[in-house]
Structure 1
Amino acid sequence: MLVAALQRAMTDELPDAVREAFEARDSYDLRDDHALVTTTAFDARVTVEATEADWNSQYVVTVEVPTLSAAVEDVVGPAVEDGWFETLERRLEDAPMATRANLELDAFEVRREDQRVEIAYAFTLGSESQAADIAKTLVEYVEGTYVEGIVPGYDYRPPVSGLLDQAQSGDAAGERGGTPL
């Protein structure tokens, strides 16, 4: 699979310039070989690979979310589960449009395995600071798209139940939001 191949090719340590750019943002928790995105309820990471050109790097943003059946207390039928997954996959293709950059993806993959869905975006960029912003945007796009795709009528488990509560209770200013689509 694409995701596994990209992750095997990643560097053992984040390059210094990448580390500095990601450290300058509160939305990351840096590890030796990757950055964890802390602004989402899901598991999300960014890994980096040097390219042949010294002036840019390839970034792989990976987000793991629960399948619909893993997120609910109830039984989900196969038709609902498959429809939900296909819709999620189609919507996630539009993530580059959410960035403030003219972003060309090197790769995009959505893979369902057991009770989780793994989403991966790969892109090459020369600006470490811009890459950090784009990576965060992609992760937040995945989270927002996931919440918008919630199927009504089910009782959800954490972390999805927490995301739904947050979406319905509104922002820090106390404004009440609507239900997800």
Structure 2
Amino acid sequence: MTEEFPESARQAFEYHDAFRRDGNAFTVETTAFEGRVSAVEGPEYRTAYTVSVRVPTLAAVTADEVGEAVAEGWFDTLQRRLEDAPQTTRADVELETFDVEQDGEDVYVTFGFEWGSADQAAAIAKAFVEYVEGTYVEGVIPGYDYESPVSDLIDTASQEGGGGGGTPL
């Protein structure tokens, strides 16, 4: 039996316009990558949240072949940068869990934290998913021919940055 998303948290996530209910979890609708939040009752009036984000490996989104050293370096850099995710929130978030794993052409990023305010937890969860997407785009290596959704993210970043094309680096 799966545990139910706690009622107060469920209401906060349903009210937040960035999330859509998906079974016993919520998905983030404002990013190109798949972000998902689940929650269970936690200790001392807190709720335990798990934020999971699936992103493609560098090799999965390029039309070009990516060498092993480049792929490993890209993954290691992504992992190190994602450790800073709690610093992007307006709260003092201490991660209970943090994991970045590669499985084939996918990278799975997981953040676990406990929080008392469900409304603020929704904002924290959204910030984590957005941080993964932004960090991913920052780590795009120039010189490769990227496919969707990365090519779309690069175009958006270039347009919003007022740049003349290329990666946002």
State whether TM-score is above 0.5.
yes
Specify which of 153, 162, 166 is matched with residue 176 of structure 1: 162
Tell me, what secondary structure is at the counterpart of 1:44? strand
Give the aligned length: 167
1:47-76 CA-to-partner distances (Å, cap 9, x unmatched) read: 0021243x1111000000000000111100
Moved over 4 A (4+): none
Q: Which residue of 1 aligns with 2:23?
A: 32
Offset of residue 45 of structure 1: 0.2
Q: Is the 8 A contact 2:6 2:47 kept in 1?
A: no
Distance 1:126 1:80, change over 3 A: same
Find the residue that maps to 1:105 and give its secondary structure: coil
* One-letter amino acid of the structure 1 residue matched with residue 9 of structure 2: V
Residue deviations 1:79-133 (CA, integer Å, cap 9, x gap): 0000000000000000000000011000100001100100000000111001000
Residue 121 of structure 2, aligned match among 131, 136, 150: 131
Which one of the candidate residues 18, 32, 40 is aligned to 2:9?
A: 18
1:164–1:10 Cα change, 3 Å: farther
Please report the RMSD computed on the Cα atoms of aligned residues, expressed in angstroms. 1.5
CA contact (8 A) 1:69 1:75 kept: yes
TM-score normalised by the chain length of structure 2: 0.94
Which one of 132, 144, 149 corresponds to residue 139 of structure 2?
149
Q: What residue is the counterpart of 1:95 in the other structure?
A: 85
Could you say if the C-alpha distance between residues 10 and 180 of structure 1 is closer, same or farther in structure 2, counting changes exceeding 3 Å? farther
The answer to whether the aligner puts 1:161 opposite 2:124 as a matched pair is: no
What percentage of aligned pairs have identical amino acids? 50
Give 1:46's aligned amino acid: V
**Counterpart for residue 42 of structure 2:** 51
**1:32/1:15 CA distance change after superposition, 3 Å:** farther
TM-score of the pair, normalised by structure 1: 0.88
In the aligned structure 2, how far is the partner of 1:73 from the partner of 1:26?
35
- TM-superposition CA deviations, 1:8-37 (whole Å, max 9, x none): x962x3222111101111100012310000
